Structure 1
Amino acid sequence: MTSILFKNARIIDGTSDRANDPVDVFVENNLIREVGSGITTSAETIFDLSRYYLMPGLIDCHVHIVAGVANLGVNATFPDSLVMARSIRIQEGMLKRGFTTVRDVGGADYGQVKAWEEGLVKGPRLVISGKALSQSGGHCDFRGPYNPWPDHYAQRLGSLGRICDGATEVRRFTREEIKGGAKFVKVMANGGVASPTDPIHFLGFSREELKIAVEEAENAGTYVAAHLYTDEAIRRAVECGVHSLEHCNLIQSETAKFAAEQGAVAVPTLVVYDKIASIGGELGMGASAVSKVEAVRKAGMDSISIMHDAGLTLAYGSDLLGEMHQFQSEEFVLRGQVMPAYKVIASATNIGAKLCKMEGQIGTISEGAFADMLVLDANPLDDLSVLGHQGARMAAIMQNGVFAKCNLQ
């Protein structure tokens, strides 16, 4: 049994626009056992955090840990062993940046979840959708116009999705992903940037198919997340019962209000478009993908304001690929240009926890939660870039009660 006591901790967790008054936090094994003033419980190790700030571990709700290169069609051709090796490096980088939990929205499998649980991989806790579902010619269909075989990438670890068409296949594949360990279901309900045959305005799946995926997810006690850009696609998805709205760059005010009324959650991913536009070409993304990104990149910042003003709940997402993963934390600064800092932090703490269906377990510093915590050398409410710099401003990173990094005296 291990026990650690943090004294005089000023907590920042996204629930307030100021740090809490100093409290003590007692950690035993992998859990936070007590939070309060003047805790007298004996502990093996005691740290005085008077000079620091304490935060819950960060949660990124839109990642692809198998995306080792930016060109996703090429990524799906690599041997599984190579994809896994690159994925381990990606996961290690995420933990070093303070992300103790991530929600993988297409690609990761249950074997990778088990690898983390067994301590074989040092990275964030994984909440996965399994393979994303795509219609033929939709986002995640990387065959191009000349390859007719729909199962071309289906069994590859490096493939983010699988192709299914019609009510029967959607129902069966949804059930298969849940059976295979998916905690929610991902569908591609709009055209995309990275795939070759679906312009941004394309709608993915029929209403019947979307409703079937929603029904099967709800039968299993979970929800559907959908890749979406256009206002039409977002409205249609919410009407069909989709709960988690990924990207949403082209959303308009009325649809944002409607989504908020339905209790949906949006997961914007601004940073990925910025990086595709600036370095996507040199990282191997095709010219068509780089050109398509402009249609959504410029509208991204406006979409944050539109959704925030409409009262639509926003979770943190990055959606980075290949060498772009290093920019994961820059999403904080981008959102901070149009949102209060504490709400940006909330998107990566308590809001992320709820979307991961782990409310009270992660994204909080409270009794009974997993001991996922960051010790910062400055207040991120004053400067969100404190959460960047590859974790350089994090004096300590704790996950599940174990230090992944500790420079505390």
Structure 2
Amino acid sequence: MTLNPSICLKDANLLDVRKGELVGLCNIFVEAGMIVDVSGRDPETAQLVIDVKGKTVMPGLCDAHVHVVAATASFPDLERWAGSYTTARAGQILSGMLSRGFTTVRDCGGADFGIAQAVDEGFLIGPRVLFCGHAISQTGGHGDMRGKADDWEACTCCHGLGTIVDGVPEVRRACRNELRKGAHFIKIMASGGVSSPTDRISNTQFALDEITAAVEEAEATETYVAAHVYTARAAKRVLKCGVRSIEHGNLIDDEVMDLMIEKGAFLVPTMSTHEVLKSEGLEGGLTVEMHEKVDEVVEAGYRTHKRAHEKGVKLVFGTDLLGAMHRHQLLEFSIRSKFQTPIEIIRSATLTAAELFNMVGRVGEIVPGAYADLIVIDGDPVIDIKYLQDPDRYLKLIMKDGKIYKNAI
């Protein structure tokens, strides 16, 4: 890793993600971690000149659904780990993400201000971390990891990826507490899930006034709510309450998709995690009962997300991988290529992600005023998405915040 006050990437073949094409050679100038100029001016004015030799330069990638502290797929086990051990394991996960070209990730439960700050200050190496803190769950919801025989009283303190609350006052208090600690958004568990022991995929979770309370608290601090949701029934409830981001959504229908378009909401499919959980979930820590839920959502997801894309729902790149399965992060590209073109997938991991994050102009494109998050690819990913799927072979340079983490040009 090197830090330079003034850098120029010379003869960069810039990928304009808005136009969806390579726009030709230019010089990209970086100062104090920001892009300050994209032009043909003399590169020798910079203190460090890196000759890209005509290779593709594109924005660093964004993953809108990760769990950087989930070094195991067994959330009950995760709750018993020491915080120091969890952070150490998270460091390995984060560095892996950056090595694949991801420079911004949105953590949907588990990461906190400490991990985000450690990355910002260079004590952990990884992408920029946007976090919700702990996901908000009801008793018996997707964040409640107690088994049927566990009679101990769930407290409202935080364990693992989530915190358990019931009733409007507790929801408000939990949301305010996460926002107090710097959360970039609020995440609620609004339906059943695969990795929780006592609910079903078809469950709806939280009453409407509880969901509305979470939305009100997020909007009061000028941010938004993301909701873990699988079914159409659950999705309609949260969208009507003002939730902005639907996570997973494998079982939504046309009515929900139309509602999402009407409200400008985002869909974050996490197709890779369902694919990999099917083959590796038991080895990764899922119980047999949890693993049996996976089949409910895998095949439906292919049909649903293809339909959502065709209708014009805003799809954002997300993976939601757990434990050793994080290594499959780039699998999402090939899965989505069955119904999206390469540039559409790239936009989902750049421009559309930036829109969801409320970071348009700062991440997801190479323009003056944006963070200097850049990757250099030996090939044209607009022609073939394979160039983003083999970083050891094709990913030649990684820059985040103007710091160079890999240079193999």
TM-score (norm 1): 0.96
Equivalence for 2:133: 130
> Aligned equivalents of 1:333 and 1:13: distance in 2?
21
> Aligned equivalents of 1:333 and 1:68: distance in 2?
24
Whether contact under 8 Å (2:71, 2:324) holds in the other structure is yes
Equivalence for 2:346: 345
Task: Structure 2: state its 5+ residue gaps.
Answer: none
Q: CA deviation at 1:136?
A: 0.4
Equivalence for 1:84: 87
Whether contact under 8 Å (1:17, 1:341) holds in the other structure is no
Residues 161-194 of structure 1: per-residue CA shift (max 9 Å, x gap): 0000011101111111100111100000000000
> Aligned equivalents of 2:232 and 2:213: distance in 1?
22
Q: CA deviation at 1:153?
A: 8.9
Equivalence for 2:178: 177
Task: Give the paired residue count.
Answer: 406
Q: CA deviation at 1:16?
A: 2.9
> Aligned equivalents of 1:241 and 1:229: distance in 2?
17
Residues 118-150 of structure 1: per-residue CA shift (max 9 Å, x gap): 210110111000000000001011111122334
Identify which of 142, 147, 152 aligns with 1:144.
147
SS at match of 1:137: coil
Q: 1:237 to 1:39 in 2, by over 3 A?
A: farther
Q: 1:385 to 1:289 in 2, by over 3 A?
A: farther
> Aligned equivalents of 1:390 and 1:272: distance in 2?
20
Equivalence for 1:266: 267
Equivalence for 1:31: 34
Equivalence for 2:11: 8
Structure 1, 16-25 or 370-379: larger mean CA deviation: 16-25
Equivalence for 2:206: 205
Equivalence for 2:231: 230
Whether contact under 8 Å (2:101, 2:375) holds in the other structure is yes
Aligned-pair identity in percent equals 41
Moved over 6 A (4+): none
Q: Which amino acid is the alignment partner of residue 352 of structure 1?
A: A
Equivalence for 1:356: 357
Whether contact under 8 Å (1:8, 1:50) holds in the other structure is yes
> Aligned equivalents of 1:49 and 1:327: distance in 2?
28
Residues 230-284 of structure 1: per-residue CA shift (max 9 Å, x gap): 0111111111110011001111122101111101011110000000001111222
Q: CA deviation at 1:341?
A: 1.1
Q: CA deviation at 1:43?
A: 1.1
Structure 1, 235-244 or 28-37: larger mean CA deviation: 28-37
Task: Structure 1: state its 5+ residue gaps.
Answer: none
> Aligned equivalents of 2:139 and 2:126: distance in 1?
33
> Aligned equivalents of 1:8 and 1:51: distance in 2?
5
Does 1:120 pair with 2:123?
yes
Identify which of 98, 106, 110 aligns with 2:109.
106
> Aligned equivalents of 1:141 and 1:42: distance in 2?
57
> Aligned equivalents of 1:47 and 1:340: distance in 2?
31
Structure 1, 264-273 or 46-55: larger mean CA deviation: 46-55
> Aligned equivalents of 1:67 and 1:333: distance in 2?
23
Whether contact under 8 Å (1:14, 1:343) holds in the other structure is no
Whether contact under 8 Å (1:16, 1:342) holds in the other structure is no
Q: 1:153 to 1:297 in 2, by over 3 A?
A: farther
Equivalence for 1:304: 305
Residues 70-109 of structure 1: per-residue CA shift (max 9 Å, x gap): 1111111111111111001100111111111100011111
> Aligned equivalents of 1:257 and 1:140: distance in 2?
29
Q: CA deviation at 1:344?
A: 0.5
Equivalence for 1:63: 66
> Aligned equivalents of 1:300 and 1:13: distance in 2?
30
> Aligned equivalents of 1:64 and 1:302: distance in 2?
26
SS at match of 1:21: strand
Whether contact under 8 Å (1:64, 1:320) holds in the other structure is yes
Whether contact under 8 Å (1:150, 1:163) holds in the other structure is no
TM-score (norm 2): 0.96
Q: CA deviation at 1:388?
A: 1.9
Does 1:396 pair with 2:397?
yes
